[in-house]
Amino acid sequence: MFSHFQGKTLTTGITIACGAGFCLFGYDQGVFGTFNNPDATIQGQITSTYYLGAIFVAVLSRFVGDRLGRRRAIMTGCTLLTIGGILQATASTLPHMMVGRIVGGFGTGLNTTAIPMWRVETCKQPHRGRLVIMELVLNIFGIAVTTWMNFGFSDFATQFCLVEIPAGIPPYKNIKKRVPT
């Protein structure tokens, strides 16, 4: 992946990859506020299935992570996040949505255990704290992007605008911007 890079270029490439992983983690955390106008219990179940998948795989990665290696674990996590995102964006029933959330959670669990380790293993010691903190800032940035997207689409009270569009758009695309007056 980064085998032909060295020095500062390698650090920059790894920083971009790690930052994108955590930004997508934050984005995925904030995507779902509604699905078919759920009551509080159903909304809690939709939200918690994502975290259950993440916790399960984060614990499991203790046993599998070293065998896979950091880069392969991150690529697997990103693949699971993509599959989970597709399942969520195409969901028309609650079980379909929950399966998508669990699969996305699996990817997040792998990424949140592998990315920080890869980050600190590949950078110089004086930069470690600053670079890991940047990942957490990008996580919050991902949540903020999703929150503003949900706000921007809130005028369109349809399932398509409130769930499918945010689930299907990566955070780096142009989004409808709306600032409260």
157 compared with 177, residue with greater pLDDT: 157
For the purposes of burial, counting CB atoms within 10 Å of the CB of 15, is it exposed (0-12), middle (13-18) or buried (19 or more)? middle
Q: What are phi and psi of 136, to 5 degrees?
A: -70, -35
Q: What is the Cα–Cα distance from 88 to 100, expressed in whole angstroms?
A: 5
CATH of the domain at 131: 1.20.1250.20
Confidence of residue 181 (pLDDT cuts 50, 70, 90): very low
Region 24-39: mean pLDDT is 74
Q: Is 130 within a domain?
A: yes
**Average pLDDT across the chain, whole number:** 79
Q: Is 179 within a domain?
A: no
Q: Strand, coil or helix: what is 161?
A: helix
Q: Is 173 within a domain?
A: no
Q: Is 5 within a domain?
A: no
Q: Is 4 within a domain?
A: no
101 compared with 176, residue with greater pLDDT: 101
Q: How many helices (H) and strands (E) does the chain have?
A: 7, 0
Q: Is 8 within a domain?
A: no
Q: What is the Cα–Cα distance from 175 to 152, expressed in whole angstroms?
A: 9
Q: Is 151 within a domain?
A: yes
- Which helix or strand (DSSP H or E) is residue 118 part of? helix 94-121
Q: Is 110 within a domain?
A: yes
Q: Which domain holds residue 150?
A: 25-31+38-168
Confidence of residue 76 (pLDDT cuts 50, 70, 90): very high
Region 96-120: mean pLDDT is 90
Region 94-105: mean pLDDT is 92
How many domains in the chain?
1
Q: Residue 109 to residues 44, 82, 142, 159, 160: CA-CA distances in angstroms?
A: 19, 14, 17, 28, 27
Confidence of residue 152 (pLDDT cuts 50, 70, 90): confident
Q: What is the Cα–Cα distance from 80 to 114, expressed in whole angstroms?
A: 14
- pTM, entire model: 0.75
Q: What percent of the chain has pLDDT over 70?
A: 80
